[in-house]
């Protein structure tokens, strides 16, 4: 049975400018890594990677090395984290939508990979939570990455 791992850095663990620099650095490689089943969420306030333990451990040793980051182990914990992101539970601005970030990240992953199915479930849960909280419209961002 394959084990799943996630690693992330978000706005709570570093400065906005450091977060923006990291996300700009990661965006070009995120697409390539997605072909190996690694789901990357890259935004100006977060960089997160989820997938098979062996693939994510390699990323953990390179991209996240030397940076304060968190780890999440197991499919259930990853679904919970991604659903919280999609629902805005971990948003800097209440109600701000990260549904599009997660949906774009999922599109890059092979649909036959377990990370695709885990993220799809989380996205569905997050969307349902947003509807329940009446966060049905996309919130306007106060600042874009370019202004940080």
Q: How far is the C-alpha of 42 from the C-alpha of 128, rounded, in Å? A: 22
Average pLDDT of the residues of the chain: 77
- DSSP symbol at 139: P
Q: Which residues contact 134 (CB under 8 A, 6 or more apart)?
A: none
Residue with tokens 């850095």: 9
Which domains does the chain show, CATH number per domain? 4-147 (3.30.460.30)
Structure tokens belonging to residue 107 = 């599109």
Structure tokens belonging to residue 39 = 């789901």
Q: So what's the pLDDT on residue 6?
A: 92
Q: 2-47, pLDDT tens digit by residue? A: 599 999 988 788 888 888 888 888 888 888 888 788 888 888 778 8
């Amino acid at each position: 049975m394959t084990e799943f791992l996630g690693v992330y850095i978000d706005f709570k663990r570093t400065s906005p400018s450091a977060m923006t620099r990291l996300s700009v650095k990661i965006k070009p490689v995120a697409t390539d890594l997605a072909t190996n089943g690694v789901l990357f969420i890259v935004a100006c306030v977060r960089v997160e990677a989820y997938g098979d333990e062996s693939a994510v451990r390699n990323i953990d040793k390179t991209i996240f090395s030397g940076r304060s980051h968190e780890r999440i182990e197991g499919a259930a914990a990853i679904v919970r984290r991604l659903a919280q992101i999609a629902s805005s539970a971990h948003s800097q601005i209440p109600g701000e939508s990260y549904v599009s970030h997660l949906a774009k990240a999922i599109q890059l992953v092979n649909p036959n990979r377990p990370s695709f199915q885990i993220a799809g479930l989380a996205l569905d849960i997050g969307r349902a939570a947003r509807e329940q909280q009446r966060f049905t419209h996309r919130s306007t961002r106060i600042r874009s990455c370019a202004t940080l």
